[in-house]
Amino acid sequence: MINFNGGTVSLGTSISPLGAYAGYLLMHSGNFWLAVCFLALTTIYFSIVLAMLCRYIINYRRSMLSA
């Protein structure tokens, strides 16, 4: 992920290396409940990104129509 700045946290840019590392560790450890937690986290993050894209498209269209 690049350049997804969820505020001052720089969400996507910060998550990408950490998330990849967490995934790598998960694949090597094989803990079922941690895998479920990681799946939930990935889904939440994906939902945030999709919702943001959805809002961008709507606002972009609105700004095009009002221009």
Residues that bind other proteins (CB under 8 A): 1-19, 21-23, 25-32, 34-39, 41-46, 48-56, 58-60, 62-63, 67
Q: How far is the CB of 34 from other proteins (least distance, A)?
A: 6
In whole angstroms, give the CA distance from residue 27 to residue 63. Answer: 45
Which residue's entry shows tokens 């450890």?
29
Q: How far is the CB of 60 from other proteins (least distance, A)?
A: 6
Q: Is 4 exposed, middle or buried (0-12, 13-18, 19+ CB in 10 A)?
A: middle
Q: How far is the CB of 48 from other proteins (least distance, A)?
A: 6
